[in-house]
Structure 1
Amino acid sequence: MLVLLSPAKTMTGKCKIEVPAVTEPLFVDEATRIAREMVGYSVDELAAMLGVSRSLALQTWERYNAFLSPETSAVPSLLAYTGIVFRYLSPADFTAADFTYAQDHLRIASACYGLTRALDGIKPYRMEYTVELPSTGCPLDAYWRPRITDRLIADVQAAGGILVNLASREIQQSLDWARLNREVRVVTPEFKVSKGDILKTIVVYAKMMRGAMTRFILKNRLTTPQELEAFSAEGFHFSPRHSTPDNPLFIV
């Protein structure tokens, strides 16, 4: 079983947590080339390109300039992202064995790095799949689609043939889901809040539960979708009535 997550926009370039090793990202050459192109844009151009404020664009400009410096340290991707999903995944207390297991059973999609493993060393960046660069000739989601789909299928097959899709919708276009569904089993858990007879997705709760479920899978070394049914957190629990084998629903 392998878990797929989306990255967070908030990141850190520092880490005091000891890990067994820091590995080289699978697509480090592509990421470096993207960073080299991004430093060629002005702060105002970055703001328009990424749809962010000028202050965030300035931070992005600084990040990409630091990205290319050999003095900038790389942080394992599982520890580099600091958004809600990763706060609930809470890897700070992972053992060496947990990190090693996560290396083989977790992938994080990225518009800059393509696809990273838990211990792949990455540097802070900001990127959107809609960006089109001169070297790619197309938006980054189309650029990455054949590259990371091939790799993800191989990694899922090596991990038992089951992909637990806990990624957000923003990365969906960066993967060939028709191929994924043909070649591996894709299980997509959902988390909804019950309001009377209506079930609603509340984004912040969904992010919390994606992180908590990833932690549950990695810490307990789950191997089958049926084992997901034991997951519960913050009042969310499995609802057999609302679930299908490949789309388990957890409600609160």
Structure 2
Amino acid sequence: MLVLLPPSEGKAASGDGVPVALDALSLPGLTAARAQVLETLVGLCRGDEEAAAEVLGLSPGLRGEVARNAGLPTAGARPAGEVYTGVLFDNLALATLDEAAHDRAERSLLVFSGLWGAVRIGDRIPPYRCSMGVKLPGLGALGPYWRAATAAVLPEVADGLVLDLRSSAYAAAWKPAGELVTRTATVRVLQERDGKRSVVSHFNKATKGRLVRDLLVAGAEPKTPGELVEALLGLGHRVEVAAEGTARKPWQLDVVVTEVH
């Protein structure tokens, strides 16, 4: 099982080790593309601060992120699973997994990134600020940029079920094709209240974090979207098949909750 995750805007304050080594990251087929994005981002942030902040979509209170990006080549790095600190990762709580579950997380989780393309949770990276929606000078929008780079790389590691929990911006960086489509499942979180359902926005990240954690702790290894539904039902989640997959569209699953937290 390969689980595709979005990153979080929230990140650790700093790294605590040696700088990032691009050739040591997972998915070596992305190394050249990573180097190009990193060089472009650092060059942008070492120039005009106001222009860099505008490109990155930073508010005045986040202008310090420009300086942090400027120092990325020499900044301390730490495992990606420690760098990302948002709602999904808070509920995934990687640091509290036992050794077996953490090993499964290192094998199965893939976090998409505007800067790195995609990394595994054990890959050492520095904290940064560069969302997938950014348009970098000379490279353009990062979604299409990474889509070209990931097209040949991702199918090599997606050899079973693909559970795609990415937001739309990060889903733009890679789309399954061919027979992979029928092995891919996406998840929507719905809240049911007084017999009516509505799409959960912010808190859908918390639910997705808990879903993944439960699968890791249980040691579940579903090989198809149908087996994934059975596994989640067995773990106490209320899951419904909104649409079975076709040759062109992945399976769409609904997870129904009564409370959001």
Fold similarity call, TM over 0.5: yes
1:78 Cα shift? Answer: 1.4
Superposition map of 1:24-63 within 5 A: 24-26=25-27, 27-41=30-44, 42-56=48-62, 58-63=63-68
**1:165 paired residue number:** 164
Confirm or deny: 8 A CA contact 2:43 2:70 kept in the other structure: no
**2:83 paired residue number:** 80
Aligned counterpart in structure 1 of residue 101 of structure 2, from 98, 103, 113: 98
Percent same amino acid at aligned positions?
Answer: 23
1:62 Cα shift? Answer: 1.9
Question: Could you list the runs of 5+ residues in structure 1 that have no partner in the other structure?
Answer: 17-22
Matching residue's letter, 2:119 = T
Matching residue's letter, 2:190 = K
User: Mean alpha-carbon deviation: is it higher for 193-202 or for 83-92?
Assistant: 193-202
**1:19 paired residue number:** none
Inter-CA distance 25–73: structure 2 relative to 1 (3 Å threshold): farther
In structure 2, distance between residues paired with 1:102 and 1:206: 20
Matching residue's letter, 2:54 = A
Confirm or deny: 8 A CA contact 2:42 2:71 kept in the other structure: no
In structure 2, distance between residues paired with 1:89 and 1:55: 28
* Number of corresponding residues: 233
RMSD: 2.4
**2:6 paired residue number:** 6
1:103 Cα shift? Answer: 1.9
Per-residue Cα deviation, 1:192-229 (whole angstroms, up to 9, x for no partner): 11133432122222010111111112222222212122
Matching residue's letter, 1:47 = A
Confirm or deny: 8 A CA contact 1:231 1:238 kept in the other structure: no
Question: Could you list the runs of 5+ residues in structure 2 that have no partner in the other structure?
Answer: 18-23, 223-227, 245-250
Confirm or deny: 8 A CA contact 2:133 2:169 kept in the other structure: no
Confirm or deny: 8 A CA contact 1:32 1:68 kept in the other structure: no
